[in-house]
Amino acid sequence: MKILYHHRIASKDGQYVHIEEINKSLKKAGHDIVLVAPSMGEQQEFGGDGGVVSKLKQLLPKALYEVIELAYSIWAFLKLAKAIKSHKPDFIYERYNLFCPAGIWAKKWFKIPLLSEVNAPLFEERGKYDGISLKKLAKWSERYVWRNADKVLPVTDVLADHIRAEGVPESRICVIPNGINTEAFIDKQYDNPLPVDTSDKIVVGFVGFCREWHGLDKIVELLALPGNESLFFLLIGDGPAVASIKDTAKQAGIEDRIYITGLVNRDDMPAWLTPIDIALQPAVVAYASPLKMLEYMATAKAIVAPDSPNIRELLTHQENALLFDPKDMSSFVQACQTLATDDALRTRLAKQAKQSIFDKKLTWDENAAKIVELANGCIQR
């Protein structure tokens, strides 16, 4: 099939991984992809923040920036129209964004099915973290896309509840969680890149941009407790909490038992996961399908994660992970301690975590197949 893939992501960060991986899997399955997207996102290295778009967002009044966002949809529609006329795609696959009705306009004008991938309730998310000035317009744009897409594909059932609440019928909603590139995270073996010998250690690891509310300083304190001399902490990433973590380790005299990589290249991530025995998901957005957690599962890690509805869509306490009360950080630390002292439990949970990838079909290839199946159903109507 010929698929017109549309997104408005200008940065090249975690959200870009989803875009890149699903396109790889669609191409691997023999489908042709016609990409309509901001060129600046494609040209950046991984970790890029969107350049001029990010600066405009910081400098302009919110209302003006939001008007520019909506105005961009006119330009995006023209690009979509040109691509449709030139390539005659079978359907449009779009990553939903706020103030971006261009895909729906193209679907209606050219009578082509559109599948809308939804990774967050952006009206709620942006309102909470960045603030929204043109609230009625923003809410209209979200509702307009969700209600007019042929299929809406949220990454969790928790997120699907937001979509149901906007009047989208169940028949047009299909939950498709994030996935795993099996070739990179399962099929290949990697050398351990850690420049510290941890062969006699139990490595507790975290991947991501760490903030204070992750509570990773508590893990450093755990390492310092008597009896935990065999524990080693590996932080794959960076963030504002790094300085505090280093200070805590220095005060405890265990600097030699932590290692912080800083930002790593996306292609190097599978190798960096190699030395980890206990993998941490200390906090999670309520509606997210955490990519790092799936990568932990695929590489057979004993996982500690919050006992929240979206996490329970993938993990079960004592079956393929240990889940803790997200309101009680002491339970997070206790779960880590339990795994550190129970080799059999750690091994069993790690093995079952990896098996769950296959049992639940949590791969990008499976996601690509599901997308095409849904699109075929829309085309045949």
Q: What pLDDT sits at residue 48?
A: 47
Decide: 146 and 115 in contact? Cβ < 8 Å.
no
H or E element, residue 157 = helix 157-165
Nearest of 208, 187, 179, 185 to residue 23 by alpha carbon: 179
Q: What pLDDT sits at residue 212?
A: 86
One-letter amino acid at 337 equals Q
Q: Residue 12's beta-bridge partner residues?
A: 48
Domain ranges of the chain: 2-179+363-379, 183-359
Q: Which residues contact 314 (CB under 8 A, 6 or more apart)?
A: 177, 289, 293, 294, 297, 356, 360, 362
Into which CATH architecture does domain 183-359 fall? 3-Layer(aba) Sandwich (3.40)
Q: What pLDDT sits at residue 117?
A: 98
**Do 2-179+363-379 and 183-359 share a fold?**
yes
Radius of gyration, alpha carbons of the chain: 22
Decide: 53 and 12 in contact? Cβ < 8 Å.
no
* Distance separating alpha carbons of residues 291 and 247, to the nearest angstrom: 29
What are the Cα distances from residue 113, in Å, to 75, 76, 91, 154? 20, 17, 5, 17
> What count of other Cβ atoms lies within 10 Å of the Cβ of residue 38?
18
Question: What does the buried/exposed string (b/e) look like for 244-264 if buried means 16 or more CB atoms within 10 Å of the residue's CB?
Answer: ebbebbeeeebeebbbbeeeb
| Residue 145 in tokens | 């896309």
Q: What pLDDT sits at residue 16?
A: 85
Q: What pLDDT sits at residue 42?
A: 55
Question: What pTM was estimated for this model as a whole?
Answer: 0.92
Q: What pLDDT sits at residue 206?
A: 96
Nearest of 170, 178, 113 to residue 376 by alpha carbon: 113
| CATH numeric code, 2-179+363-379 | 3.40.50.2000
pLDDT beneath 70, residues of the chain? 12-13, 40-55, 57
